[in-house]
Chains A and B, each alone.
Chain A
Amino acid sequence: MGPGRATTTSDRLLLALFAAVFAVALPSEVLAEPVRRAFLFSHSDGGPGLAKLRYAHRDVMKMRNVLTELGGFSGENIQVVYNQDSQDVIQQLRKMEERVLDDKLAGKEVLLLIYYSGHAKDGALRLGKTRLDMNLLRSMLEDSKADVRVALIDACGAGEITREKGGVKAPPLVVSVDDALTARGQVIIASSSDTEASQESDDIQGSFFTHYWVSGLRGDADRTGDGRVTLDEAYAYAYARTVAATVHSRGGVQHPTYRYNLRGAGDVVMANLGASTSVVRFPEDVSGRFMVFDLERQLVVAEVEKERGTPVRIAVKGGHYAIKKREPDHLLMQKVKVARASEHVVDPSQMEKVDFDDDYSKGAVITVEQPYVRKQGYWGLSLSGGMGAQAFFNLPGPPTNAKRSTNPLTASPTFPATTIATLQTRYHGLFNRHLLLSGDLNFGGREYTAIIDGGALGQLRYDAAFFMAELGAGAMWEQEIWRLRFAAGPRISTVFLFRHLYNAPVDNQFFMNMTPGLAGYVGFDIFRFLHVELGLRGSYLVYATDGFQNIGSVSATLAMHADL
C-alpha cells in the first residue's frame, strides 16, 4: 500500500487551502528559536485482559534519544514518565503546561510534543488499572498555550483520538518548510485507526509505528534531501512503512491516522540532520533493507529501506553500532564505530556473513521490559566502603589564641583527616520531582600521630587512634541529564569525634557538635536501579574548647546507590 493510497482529493485540497491562506496571514519572518518541550509517557500494563507490552518503555527511550539528538529538544525540557497512573500523568501534564505558560510569558515560541506508547481501549489510554480519557487528553492539548502542539499516540485503537471530526489515514500534503515556528495549531497522530491494533515486533524491539517514526527522523524520511525532516515527512514515512510492515502480520494491517489543525505558512521541522555530526551513509549504489543497531544502548536506532540511485544519510550519536542487512538465508553484519564528527559509509562487501542464530544485535533477552526508569518518589539506599575521605581545615577568621595559625585554609591541628565509609538513604520527589531528602551515616577512623603545639615545649607527638561518626540530613535539588545526575543542597549533621592517645596524660577525648553545610553529588546511572556517584560534602563547625576556632570539614565519597 502506498502512502497516498488512502488520501482523498478533498483532503489534499483542504490542506493546500489552509496552507495558502495562512501563508499570507502569517508571513514566514525570521522568528526566535522556539522552545521545544516534550512529555513522553508509557505504560506496559493495560490492565486486566490485555497482554503486557514488552517494548513500550523502549519506544519512549528511542523517542527521547532522537528528540535530543536531532529534534532540538534539550534533555531538561523532556519529561519522561513510566508506568504511572492517570492521575499522576494528568498532574505531570498540568505541570508541563505551567512551564509552557512560563515560556509564553517570557515571550517565547513553544512547540509541545506529547507522546504515548502503551495500550488504549474504548476511547481511553490504559495506564495500569486506571484510564486516561482520550477526549480529556485532546482537550488538554487544545487548551495548551503552546504555539504548536503535536501528539503522537502509539496504542491499539489510538485512532479514537483522531476520529472525531474526521481523522485521516494518509499523510497530508507537503507544505513549505521554515526554520522558524510560523505554524500555529495542533496535530494529533495515532499509530492506528480506532479499530486496529498497534503492534510490537521482536525483530525491531519496539512498536512498528514508533520504530518507523524514529527511523524517519534519523534521515530516511528526508524526501527532499534538505537535511531536515518535517512533521509531514515523518508522518508520511511512518505511515508508509508501518502499513507495509504490518500488511502480512497476524495482528492485521495497521493504518496510522492524523488530525491536522495547523495554520501558518510552514511545516514543523521535527529533526535537523545537521544537528548531528555523526552519520551512517548508505551510498547510491547500495540497496536493500538495513537495520542500524546501537550496541551500547541495545536499541534499533533506524531501519533503512534503501533504493539504488539515491544516497541516504542516517544521523546518529557517536558510538558503536551494528549494521545489519537481511538476506534470504543469512545476515550480513558489521560492527562499526562512528566517531563524533565523522561519517561511516556502508559497504556491503565489507560486511560478514552471519547465521540468523548468531545475530549479535539482538542484545540481551527482553521479557516484559523494565527499561531504565527513574521513578518519582522512591527510597534509595547506597553503600560505600573505604571509598571516601574526610579532612578538617581552619577557616579564615580572627584566631582568639595567639598560637593558632592565622593562615587560612590550613589543615586543622585539632582534628585529623581520615578515610570514611558512608551509608545513605534518600527520598525523591516529595514536593517536586527535582527535590530529594537525604539522610546519611558516615564513620571512619585510623591510627595517626597527634601533633600538639606545646608552645615553649615545641611540638609534642603522640600515637593515637581516631574514630569519627557523623549523622546527617539534608535536602537536595537534583537535575538529570541523560544518565547523569547532579544534585546539591543544604545539609546539617551531628559529628562525633573520638581519639585515644597512647602514652599521654589524657587518654580518651571526644568532641561532638552540629555542623551545617552543603552537600552534592554527581551520579551516573549504570542500570535502572543502580548508579555510581561521587559525593562531596562541606560542613562548618565551631570548636571552642581550646579557644574559638572556625573549622571546616570536607568529605568526598564514591558510592553505589541502589533504588529500592
Chain B
Amino acid sequence: MANLHRVYLGMRAITVPVLLGAVLLGGCGNWSNDDILFKLAAPDRNTLRLRVPGAEVFEEQAANSTAQGLGNPCEGDEADNITCGIRQIAGFFNAFTFGLLGVVDNITSNDPTKREQGLRVWGPHFVQDKNFTARFEMRREEATGGFSYCLHVAGGNRTGPFADRDVRCGRDASGFIEIFTGDFVPEEGAEPQARKGVGHMVLNLNTQRRTGTADDPKAQGKFIFDYDTTGGATVIAITVEDFNDEDTGLPARATYSYRRTDAGDGEIHLRLLKQLRCGEFFGCNGSDRETLDLGARWTAEGASRVDAVGSGGDLDREYRGWECAQSDLRIVARHYDWEPDKDLGSESLCPFSAVDVSPNDSAP
C-alpha cells in the first residue's frame, strides 16, 4: 500500500511539471496568420458563381442544396425560350459548385485539425446531413506562393483519432477516396478579401458515386474548372467529360466559358455535344450527336441578347435563333429558324448585334 502511495506521489510529481511544461512550450489557440492565407486560397463558391442576369431566383433556390437547385425555374411562358435555358444552365452549375464547395466551406469553417509548416488539414469531419465524412487538405508552395488542395470523402461517420491515417493528397487510404483536387495561385497585391488569382479544380463525380456519397446516385462526369479572377474580370471555363447522355446513353462532352467584368457586364458561351431531341422543331432522325452552341451577352444593367446555333449530327441544316431582353428580363425581340411564326419585335431593340457563339478563346 505504501509502495502504491509512493508511486502515486511520484506520478503526481511528474505529471504537474510535464503538463506545465507542455502548456509553457506550446500554448494553445487558433491565432494564426497563415490560417488566413490558406482560407483565402481555398476555393470559394462566390468566386465561381456564374452571375447571369435573372439567375438569382435559381441561385437562391440552389444555395441550400444541389437537389433543390436542380428545380426548373423556366416555367409557363418562358418554358421554351433560350434565355431561360441559359439561366437554367447557369443555375445548374451554380448549384453544383455550391453543393461541392459548400462542403469545403463547411469543413474549413472549423479550425484546422492539423497545422504544419505549409500544411493545413481540416477534418475528418462528419457531414451529418449528407452522411459522409470529409477531409480537406491544403499545401502551400513557399517558392511560388501557390496552393494545392484535395478533398477526401468516406461514407458514414469516420471521425476519431487516426481515422485518416496515411491519407494525403494523391493517396487514398483508411477508406477515404479523393474526389476533388485543385490548385490556386493568388494574385500579388490583391485586396485581401477578394481572393484574386488563377485556379484549377477537378471534381470526379464518377469516383464520388462509387463512394456512395453523391447527392444524386446517377450523378456522373468529370468536371474541370479553370478560373482566373485577375485583370478586372472573372473568367471561368468548365469542361464536363466522361459522362453519358441521359437520354441516349451515348458519351457526351460539354464546354462552357464565362466572362464577367467587375463592372457587371459579361458573356457566356456553352457548347454542348449531345443527342438533341428530334421533333417538330428540328429536322433530325438519326442517332448522331449534334452540337448546340449558345452564346449570351448582357450589360451591367441586365439587358441581354442570346444566340443559339444547332448544327452537325443528324440535323438537316444549321438552325439559328436569338432573343433580346430588357433589364427587367422581359423579352422584347426574338427569332427562331425553327419557329418563324414566333418572331417578336425588331433586332434593333437588342443591346448587341449577333453574339459569337463559339467558345471564348480567352477562357483560362
Which one of A218-226, A316-324, A372-380, A511-519 is at the B interface?
A511-519
Q: Would B39 and A545 count as touching, CB distance under 8 A?
A: no
Residues of B within 8 Å of A512, CB to CB, are: 27-29
Residue in B31, B35, B37, B115 whose CB lies within 8 Å of A497: B31
Q: Would B31 and A499 count as touching, CB distance under 8 A?
A: yes
Digitize A541-560: 1 where CB-to-B-CB distance is under 8 Å, 0 elsewhere: 11111110000000000000
Digitize B107-119: 1 where CB-to-A-CB distance is under 8 Å, 0 elsewhere: 0000000010100
Which one of B77-85, B89-97, B187-195 is at the A interface?
B187-195
Interface residues on A, range: 35 or more
Number of interface residues of B (CB under 8 A): 34
Interface Cβ pair total, 8 Å cutoff: 115
Q: Which of B17-74 contact A (CB under 8 A)?
A: 20, 23-37, 39-40, 42
Q: Would B35 and A506 count as touching, CB distance under 8 A?
A: yes
Q: Would A414 and B189 count as touching, CB distance under 8 A?
A: no
Digitize A438-482: 1 where CB-to-B-CB distance is under 8 Å, 0 elsewhere: 000000000000101111111011100000000000000000000
Q: Would B115 and A545 count as touching, CB distance under 8 A?
A: yes
Q: Would A505 and B39 count as touching, CB distance under 8 A?
A: yes
Residues of B within 8 Å of A513, CB to CB, are: 23-24, 26-29
A400 within 8 A of B: yes
Digitize B284-315: 1 where CB-to-A-CB distance is under 8 Å, 0 elsewhere: 00000000000000000000000000000000
> Please, how many angstroms separate the alpha-carbon atoms of A514 and B27 in the complex?
7
Q: Would B37 and A454 count as touching, CB distance under 8 A?
A: yes
A527 within 8 A of B: no
B26: min CB distance to chain A, Å: 5
> Please, how many angstroms separate the alpha-carbon atoms of A510 and B111 in the complex?
11
Q: Would A510 and B30 count as touching, CB distance under 8 A?
A: yes
A501 within 8 A of B: yes
> Please, how many angstroms separate the alpha-carbon atoms of A503 and B195 in the complex?
12
> Please, how many angstroms separate the alpha-carbon atoms of A454 and B26 in the complex?
24
Q: Would A503 and B33 count as touching, CB distance under 8 A?
A: no
B129 within 8 A of A: no
Q: Would A544 and B189 count as touching, CB distance under 8 A?
A: no
Residues of B within 8 Å of A510, CB to CB, are: 29-31
Residues of B within 8 Å of A506, CB to CB, are: 30, 32, 35-36, 39
> Please, how many angstroms separate the alpha-carbon atoms of A514 and B19 in the complex?
11
B142 within 8 A of A: yes
> Please, how many angstroms separate the alpha-carbon atoms of A407 and B226 in the complex?
41
Q: Which of B302-348 contact A (CB under 8 A)?
A: none
> Please, how many angstroms separate the alpha-carbon atoms of A460 and B194 in the complex?
11
B3 within 8 A of A: no
Q: Would B27 and A452 count as touching, CB distance under 8 A?
A: no
Residues of B within 8 Å of A499, CB to CB, are: 31
Residue of A nearest to B196 (CB): A457
Residue of A nearest to B20 (CB): A514
Residues of B participating in the A interface, judged by any CB pair closer than 8 Å: 20, 23-37, 39-40, 42, 115, 117, 140, 142, 144-146, 185-190, 192-193
7 more contacts with CB within 8 A, not counting A455-B37, A511-B28, are A456-B145, A457-B188, A458-B189, A460-B40, A506-B30, A513-B27, A516-B24
Residues of A participating in the B interface, judged by any CB pair closer than 8 Å: 400-403, 413-415, 450, 452-458, 460-462, 497, 499, 501, 503-506, 509-514, 516, 541-547
